[in-house]
Amino acid sequence: MKIPVQLNFETEPDEYIGGLPPDGMKQPVKSIRLMYGYIASRRARLAEITGAPVNFNWMWRCDSEFEIKCGSMADLIGQHQDLLVAAREQGDEIGAHFHPLRWNETAGEWEFPYADQPWIHAQLLKSLQNFEKLMGFRPESVRLSDNILLTEEVLDLMEDFGIKRDITIEPHVVGTHMAWKNVPSDDNFHDFPLYPYQPERGNFRQPGTQNRRDIWMLLTTTNYVSKAVKDNEAEIEQAYVALDLAFHPPTFAEIMNRQLESLERPYLLIVGNSNISILPQYLAYFEANVDFLINHPLASLFQFVNSAGLVEMTSHQATAQAQSSPIYQNWLWQRNLQRKQELEASTQAYRKLELYARNIEQHLGEKQAYIDSLETSRTAGQIPFARIDRYTSALKARLTGKR
């Protein structure tokens, strides 16, 4: 009776810098070690709270863009060999992460060559082969950079290579994570099962029956938020977003809680880039969000798993049984009570505002009637014109807010 939680960490450059690095210069990637050190320091506490082993997913980029920007992948993996060994000994999974970017020499910029599907397929295969060569083993899981990269041909390629789990799909998220030129904003990622599944061959959006693929599709946790704030300035209004450890903590909490209370078989698949560990603002958000996981009322029901563990736990009814536990039922009752109290408070505030508005309207109506009566007296000559003009001008100024 556990709720599986997968934390999916992706290796990225410390900063996103456009263009090509100057000759002899490469972008630093210090954040991988910082991220590993931070989350490793929380492993024992997470195990204590959950009463279960704690495993994570580490998704390594081995694509050409990353290597051009950050240097030899052989050197980078060699520099982090101790972390890779330690992670695998702890039961963590090392998977592959792929970005399909190509340098356009004529335009002097990186491009997402969506229309050139053969090039994308060739680069994905090259990236997976590079991973196997440098790591010494084949990845079992892959996360592509964007929903629209998923096609039947890509799934064929991954299955042929031996990939067992795809972690790409972000349900309801439209378009790419960056506004690339000539890339469609595909909004056809809505109708998916809300649990891991093996897709039908020829239609990866549907669970397979007799013609089922071997690969599993693991869906990133997404949910609707009225106002998601990733930092102090950028706002996403009325959008579905993926649950990211770099999110503003109230947004992270809102998405996570909505997900936990809305699924028949609840689970969480949370993403995070390595570079949030080196950017002060995002690091503060990251730390707050990890603490939120640790201190969550349902924390004792959580089990932190890698992607293989997520498949194992969600492929039977153990996660559904977690919903019947007294801990979950009490949390859900508290959530509903809080919602009811917030609704009652909003209703009372609205009624007070409505009464206040009516009083103002009545007051303004009385003032306007008084002005009209003065105007009538002025026209009838009952009061000197100058006196009426002073009164009506002052009253009109108050009505319009002018002095």
Fold adopted by 3-317: TIM Barrel (3.20.20)
* Cα–Cα distance measured from residue 332 to residue 64, given in angstroms and rounded to the nearest whole number: 47
Return the C-alpha torsion angle 298, 300, 302, 306, nearest 10: 150
Give yes or no for a contact between 42 and 55, defined as CB atoms under 8 angstroms apart. Answer: no
Residue 9 has pLDDT above 90, yes or no: yes
Higher per-residue pLDDT: 127 or 399? 127
Task: Write down the pLDDT at residue 399.
Answer: 64
What would the mean pLDDT of 289-297 be, rounded to a whole number?
Answer: 95
How many angstroms separate the most distant Cα atoms in the chain? Answer: 103
Beta carbons of 115 and 79 less than 8 angstroms apart:
no
Per-residue pLDDT at 188 exceeds 70: no
Percent of the chain at pLDDT exceeding 90: 45
Contacts of 99 (CB under 8 A, 6+ apart): 61, 63, 65, 66, 145
Please provide the distance, in angstroms rounded to a whole number, between the alpha carbons at the two ends of the chain: 68
Residue pLDDT, tens place only, 130-162: 999 999 999 999 999 888 888 999 999 999 999
At 59, which helix (H) or strand (E)? strand 57-61
Rounded to whole angstroms, the Cα distance separating 351 from 341 reads 15
In 171-234 the beta strands, taken as DSSP E runs, fall at 199-200, 203-207, 216-217, 222-229
Tens of pLDDT, residues 91-103: 999 999 999 988 8
Please compute Rg for the chain using Cα positions.
29
Ramachandran angles phi, psi of 4, nearest 5°: -70, 140
The mean predicted confidence, pLDDT, of the chain is: 83
pLDDT tier, 307 (very low <50, low <70, confident <90, very high otherwise): very high
Whole-angstrom distance, CA of residue 146 vs CA of residue 144: 6
Give Cα 64 distance to the centre of its chain: 26
Which tokens belong to 389? 């003009």
* Dihedral over Cα of 109, 114, 119, 125: its sign: positive
**What is the C-alpha to C-alpha distance for residues 166 and 153, in angstroms, rounded to an integer?**
14
Query: Where is average pLDDT lowest: 131-135, 363-367, 376-380?
Result: 376-380
Tell me what pLDDT residue 1 has: 74
Contact at 8 Å (CB) between 174 and 225? no
CA–CA distance, 189 with 242 (Å, rounded to integer): 13
- 3-state SS, residue 170: coil
DSSP state of 198: P
Residue of higher predicted confidence among 209 and 359: 209
Average pLDDT over residues 227-235: 45
Q: Quick one: DSSP state of residue 181?
A: T
Cα dihedral across residues 238, 239, 243, 245: positive or negative? negative
